[in-house]
Amino acid sequence: MFLFDFIPAKALFWGAHIVVAVGIASYFASRFAGLYKVFVAPIAIGVFAVGVFLEGVVYSSSGLLKQIGELQDKARRAEQQSQQVNTVIQTKVVERVKVVREKTDANVQVVEKIVTKYDNMCTLSNAAISVHDSASQNQVSRSTGSVVEGTSDVKASELIKTVTENYGTYYQMREQLLGWQQWYKEQRKIYEDVK
């Protein structure tokens, strides 16, 4: 049966008809074969039986081929829908991330223009910088010891600029995550419709 997978459906269809016709013609021809009738008639019946078997294969596979065609059409439409969803979501995410970047850049410009004026009025302790650096690496800060004593050389505007950029990165990642979640929901809906 697995050999039939490699034979085109139309060739199998016409081949089955031809084998049945050859079987019938051979059987009737065996009537005139005289002495060879004993050998020709069983072969003709065998050819006819093979033809009938092939007819059955063609009949049963025609329904399967129709179902396969319908499923391929559904899959093709689902793929097109999927591509459209990908394009729409990607465009939305790119636009949202662009807006977040613009806002972040605007806030960084404010820090550079205004907050830097107050750097000489605000000093930061080593402890504050240690807590900030530890938090940025998801670690617990060392709160005691000589490492965190004293005043830091880091300016307040530098710290605010770093925090502003980090928040901007967070919101960019948030928009990307929301985009992935929306993509998953839409793709799942398309997949469920195909089933």
pLDDT in tens, 71-117: 889 889 999 999 999 999 999 999 999 999 999 999 999 999 998 88
Beta-carbon-side half-sphere exposure of residue 23 (alpha carbons within 13 Å) = 19
Domain locations along the chain: 2-194
Residue 149 phi, psi dihedral angles, 5° rounding: -85, 150
d(CA 166, CA 175): 14
Question: Which helix (H) or strand (E) is 173 found in, with range?
Answer: helix 156-194
DSSP string, 84-148: HHHHHHHHHHHHHHHHHHHHHHHHHHHHHHTGGGGGGG---BHHHHHHHHHHHTT-----SSGGG
Contact by Cβ (8 Å): 129, 68: no
- Per the prediction, the chain carries an average pLDDT of 85
Give the model confidence (pLDDT) of 129-148 as tens digits.
888 888 888 888 776 555 66
Higher pLDDT, 111 or 128: 111
> Mean pLDDT throughout 173-189?
95
Cα distances from 124 to residues 53, 138, 155, in angstroms, run 90, 21, 7
pLDDT at 180: 96
- What pLDDT digit, counting tens, does each position of 11-32 carry? 767 777 888 888 888 888 877 7
* Crossing angle for the helix pair 37-113 and 156-194, to the nearest 10 degrees: 160
b/e burial code for range 16-31 (CB count within 10 A of at least 16 → b): beebbebbeebbeebe
Rounded distance between C-alpha atoms, residue 16 and residue 22, angstroms: 10
The secondary structure of residue 83, as a DSSP letter, is H
Residue whose entry in the numeric block shows the structure tokens 């004026």: 117
